[in-house]
Amino acid sequence: MKLFERAGPLTQELRLAPGGFGLGQVLERERPDATTTMTCGYCSTGCGLSVHLRNGAAVGLTPATEYPVNLGMACPKGWEALEVLKAPDRAAVPLLRNDRGQLEPINWPTALRVFVARFRAIQAEYGNDAVAFLSTGQIMTEEMALLGALAKFGMGMIHGDGNTRQCMATSVVAYKQSFGFDAPPYTYADLEESDVLVFVGSNLCVAHPILWQRVLRNPHRPEIIVVDPRKTETAMQATDHFAIRPKSDLALFYGLARLLIERDWIDRDWVAAHTNSYKEFAAFVAPFTIERVASDTGIDADRIERLAQTIHEGRRVSFWWTMGVNQSYEGTRTAQSLVNLALLTGNIGRPGTGANSITGQCNAMGSRLFSNTTSLFGGRDFENADDRTEVARILEIDERRIPDQNSWAYPEIISGILKGKIKGLWVIATNPAHSWINQSQLGEILDRLEFLVVQDMYHTTETARRADLVLPAAAWGEKDGTFINSERRYGLAKKVARAPGVALADFSIFKLVAEAWGVGPMFRRWESPAATFQILKHLSRGRPCDITGIRDYQMLDDLGGVQWPFTAEQERATDGGATADPATHRRLFADGLFYHPDGRARFIFENPRPMPEPPTSAYPLLLLTGRGTAAQWHTQTRTNKSAVLRKLSPRNPYVELNPTDARRLGIAQNEPVLVESQRGSIAARAYVTPVVAAGQVFIPMHYETVNQLTDAVFDPYSRQPSYKACAVRVRRASACPP
């Protein structure tokens, strides 16, 4: 079979990827045996990894000692990052489902012809909005931007969302409403500069191990407070652990606000100068008496008082949260209840302070600014005519190509498929057939699609196995571009290895699709990732995320990444960044000015709501889900390809069960059990441990079956799935009829 057919402009694009030279290889050509530093492609910490090259190819890596994020450290995933590129199930050629229902290799020109013909036919029959895309926080910023522009301005789609909905949507909405822009305010140095750190629903030791190392470098003997129903690895190392009842966070933080206000432990001047709606907030929290909060959270009243006192006595208090907050039916208000505490006590804008959402995926922050999904490029609004005009001018496109309505969020796209409104779906770098909530429904829903395209680095993912067309993608290490980490730092990833077969960088695939769709000329300026980065700079100008001061990739390389904002004026003032300390100097809100038109932050609050599916007599246990080990990444398509990482984590699904519950149920350590919810039943081994409280169980999200159990419930503002609370029962497998 001829994989590369001569096909006019396509061949030029094809040269872009497998054989072409990337940044790492260019460097190597100039300096044989070079080492080049690049950002890790797993988590949002964004560690720098030094990749060692021989003859234009990576031969190994070590954590970068000079990079301001990780200071010479990396977790096992980072160390093993090159290994997982070599797996035999890499998607190396396009695959098309044939008449017998099997995926069969085809060449790129055929793949592109089928892609265009099928999606165009669906659009002709049902309308442009009958085709949608689901993308990701795990490809380069330049790739996300090109996809967002191509799908919406080129192909006429209206609906497109990403796996960041599963993850960060709550923080996005919380920040937008409270601060006026989606802007995590901190730098990692704050982890070392706080004297009180409060971690809420965040298992840093497992999920962000290098950030935990930064905490350990804190010289101020800090109080480390962990609020998590489980006694996690992080809780075990904390100075104090509040094992609250799941989803009682709102009550706790409103109760703390009440105590701080009542004792006049707040920064009245700062609140008066920089916030709105304080009076209403103070009145709102009045009923959250300590007795009520103690009864809602299961935490003793005197411990709650002591916590308020610790926050009061801290000179530099920082509040950090992750999925225990975001993945909840009331996640947005919970995140804002932490923002409110930082505002009340004036703990924002100074070193060691902040209301700090820790991101998840390597480039979730890139997708928040530039994926063109639910917000228009640069955190703009599709429904705002001025925003559309500005973007059209910068991109030199006809303004009418920009949709004047917002995209459906991920759950609406899924229900759109169910209702027959969405008939074609393009899935890029995400694995919803494992990770989306309530899989007992999702399988049937995906079956309703007339055409499913999956673009992935492996052809064996749960979602790729269902696809009609698989497009083989190059991975981290096989392409160039930027990621934005949790502290808003742009970091560079580089091509240091060849992609297998005819797999192409996502960027090149999008360029080919543009040509095949007939909108190639619209993307002439988007010639390469580096050229696209210049377009992103224009899109950022004058926005809170302004990066007009970052000259080019070389500057990112020289400085060890650069945090946004970095304006042209800042660039001049710091002599091209040379006199700035890249590790610390871009903390937000030092001037107390927020992004709302009046410059003030807002207190936002709402009464807690009942848990949608509380335990009952039939399903008496509450299921929590989340990360299992530092060696497992999400749906494990990557991490299960490394022998080292496989050794560091349990192969098969297990359920953490408290010893009291195990005794009551007659379940022994490591015994096979069934875990059942109203939606499904899965097999697991019992891991009897006091880490999980009585009445609760925990299953890591890394096992394919876990979302058979979860309940499709969402936060009303962010539309983020509530992955961390549904009712289940656990039984001995041997006691169940076959």
Sites of contact with ligand MGD (CB under 6 A)? 43, 136, 138-139, 163, 166-167, 200-203, 206-208, 227-230, 232, 246-247, 249, 322-324, 327, 360-361, 428-432, 435, 455-458, 461, 473, 475-476, 506, 624-627, 630, 632-635, 637-638, 701, 706-707, 710, 723-724
Distance CA 673, CA 699 (A): 13
d(CA 629, CA 619): 27
In whole angstroms, the minimum distance from the beta carbon of 43 to ligand MGD comes to 4
Determine the 3-state secondary structure of 319 from DSSP: strand
Contact between 321 and 358 under an 8 Å Cβ cutoff? The reply is yes
C-alpha–C-alpha distance, residues 494 and 38, integer Å: 6
Per-residue tokens: 697? 């169980």
- Number of chain positions touching ligand SF4 (CB under 6 A): 13
Six-digit token string for 591: 């001037």
Rounded to whole angstroms, how far apart are CA atoms 279 and 284? 9
Q: What is the CA radius of gyration of the chain?
A: 25
The 8-class DSSP code of residue 62 comes to E
Min dist. Cβ of residue 76 to ligand MGD (A): 9
Q: Please state, in angstroms and rounded to a whole number, the distance separating the CA atoms of residues 312 and 607.
A: 25
CA pair distance 477, 679, nearest whole angstrom: 40
When the beta carbons of 167 and 206 are compared against Mo ion, the nearer one is 167
| Minimum CB–partner distance for residue 78 and ligand SF4 (Å) | 2
Q: Does 566 bind ligand SF4 (CB under 6 A)?
A: no
In 383-522, where do the E strands start and end?
424-428, 451-456, 469-472, 481-484, 489-493
Nearest residue (CB) to Mo ion, 146 versus 167:
167
Please state the three-class secondary structure of 138-151 as a single string: CCCHHHHHHHHHHH
Residue 444 neighbours by CB under 8 Å, 6+ apart: none
**Shortest Cβ 709–Mo ion spacing (Å):** 19
Which residues, in sequence order, are bridge partners of residue 721? 714
Residue 724: contacted member of Mo ion, ligand SF4, ligand MGD, none (CB under 5 to 8 Å, by partner type): ligand MGD
Nearest residue (CB) to ligand MGD, 309 versus 629: 629
Cis peptide before 565 (omega within 30 of 0): yes
Cβ proximity to ligand MGD, 276 vs 327, nearer residue = 327
3-state secondary structure 577-605: CCCCCCCCCCCCCCCCCCCCCCCCEECCC
Q: How far is the CB of 190 from ligand SF4 (least distance, A)?
A: 17
Q: Please pick, from the candidates 16, 23, 47, 95, the single residue that binds ligand SF4 as defined by CB under 6 A.
A: 47
User: Is 45 or 722 the residue whose CB approaches ligand SF4 more closely?
Assistant: 45
Q: Binding to Mo ion by residue 362, rule CB under 5 A?
A: no
Shortest Cβ 586–ligand SF4 spacing (Å): 19
> Which region among 8-16, 70-78, 259-267, 701-709 touches ligand SF4 (by CB under 6 A)?
70-78
Whole-number Å distance between alpha carbons of 694 and 679: 23
Pairing of strands 196-200, 601-602: unpaired
- Least separation, in Å, of the C-beta of 473 and ligand SF4? 20
The encoded tokens of residue 237 equal 């190392």
For residue 527, the number of C-alpha atoms closer than 13 Å in the C-beta half-sphere is 4
Pick one of Mo ion, ligand SF4, ligand MGD, none as the site partner of residue 47 (Cβ within 5 to 8 A by kind).
ligand SF4
Supply the DSSP symbol for 464: G
Question: Which helix (DSSP H) or strand (DSSP E) does residue 487 occupy?
Answer: none
Q: Give the separation between CA 625 and CA 367, rounded to whole angstroms.
A: 24
Q: Strand 672-676 vs strand 726-732: parallel, antiparallel, or unpaired?
A: antiparallel
- Least distance (Å) from ligand MGD to the CB of residue 723? 4
Choice between 78 and 561, CB closer to ligand SF4:
78
Residue 438 or 532: the one with the smaller Cβ distance to Mo ion is 438
- Residue 68 in contact with ligand SF4, rule: CB under 6 A: no
Q: What is the nearest approach in angstroms of ligand SF4 to the Cβ of residue 214?
A: 10
Q: Indicate the residue among 213 and 707 with the shorter CB distance to ligand MGD.
A: 707
- What residue type is assigned to position 607 of the chain? N
Q: Shortest gap between Cβ of 162 and ligand MGD (angstroms)?
A: 8
Which of Mo ion, ligand MGD, ligand SF4, none is residue 78 near (CB under 5 to 8 Å by kind)? Answer: ligand SF4
Binding of ligand SF4 at residue 365 (CB under 6 A)? no
Residue number with CB closer to ligand MGD (395 or 657): 657
Residue with tokens 């975001």: 326
Residue of 22, 77, 257, 509 interacting with ligand SF4 (CB under 6 A):
77
Closest CA to 544 of 372, 367, 378, 348: 378
- Please state, in angstroms and as integers, the Cα–Cα distance from residue 651 to each residue in 574, 628, 647, 709, following that order: 51, 11, 8, 19
Q: Does 290 bind ligand SF4 (CB under 6 A)?
A: no
Helices (H) and strands (E) in the chain, counts: 28, 26
Tokens (6 digits) for 96 = 């098309």
Q: Which of 16, 23, 38, 43 binds ligand SF4 (CB under 6 A)?
A: 43
SS3 171: helix
Under rule CB under 6 A, residue 40 binds ligand SF4: yes
**CB of 460 or CB of 584, closer to ligand MGD:** 460
CA atoms within 13 A on the CB side of 469: 25
Rounded to a whole number of angstroms, the minimum distance from the CB of residue 567 to ligand MGD is: 30
> Binding pattern to Mo ion, positions 33-62, x when CB under 5 A?
------------------------------
Residue 703 to residues 635, 652, 682, Cα–Cα distance (Å):
7, 7, 10
Task: Please report where in the chains the tokens 């030094």 appear, as a residue.
Answer: 50
Closest distance to ligand SF4 from the beta carbon of 701 (Å): 16
Residue 210 interaction partner, one of Mo ion, ligand SF4, ligand MGD, none, beta carbon < 5-8 Å per kind: ligand SF4
Under the binding rule (CB under 5 A), the answer on residue 437 touching Mo ion is no
Closest contact distance (angstroms) between CB of 166 and ligand MGD is 4
Per-residue x/- marks for ligand SF4, 210-249, CB under 6 A?
x---------------------------------------
Between CA 101 and CA 115 the distance in angstroms is: 17
Residue among 364 and 682 whose Cβ is closer to Mo ion: 364
Element (H, E) at 346: none
Applying CB under 6 A, which of residues 24, 78, 184, 378 lies at the interface with ligand SF4? 78
**Helix or strand or coil: residue 125?**
helix
575 torsion bin: left (phi>0), alpha (psi -120 to 50), beta (else): left
Determine what percent of the chain falls in helix, strand and coil, rounding each to the nearest 5. Answer: 35, 20, 45
Min separation Cβ 1 and ligand SF4, Å: 37
Least Å distance, CB 265 to ligand MGD, is: 23
Minimal distance, residue 138 CB to ligand MGD, in Å: 5
Which of 61, 74, 402, 674 is close enough to bind ligand SF4 by CB under 6 A? 74
Residue nearest to ligand SF4 as judged by C-beta position: 78
Of 22, 56, 346, 360, the residue at the interface with Mo ion (CB under 5 A) is 360
Asked if 378 touches Mo ion (CB under 5 A), the answer is no
Complex with ligand SF4: residue 117 or 216, whichever CB lies closer: 216
Task: State the binding partner of 549 from Mo ion, ligand MGD, ligand SF4, none, CB within 5 to 8 A by kind.
Answer: none
CB 321 within 8 Å of CB 340: no
167 binds Mo ion, rule: CB under 5 A: yes
Binds ligand SF4 by CB under 6 A, chosen from 10, 64, 75, 197: 75
Which residues of this chain interact with Mo ion, rule CB under 5 A?
A: 167, 360
Positions that interact with ligand SF4 (CB under 6 A): 40, 42-43, 45-47, 70, 74-75, 77-78, 209-210
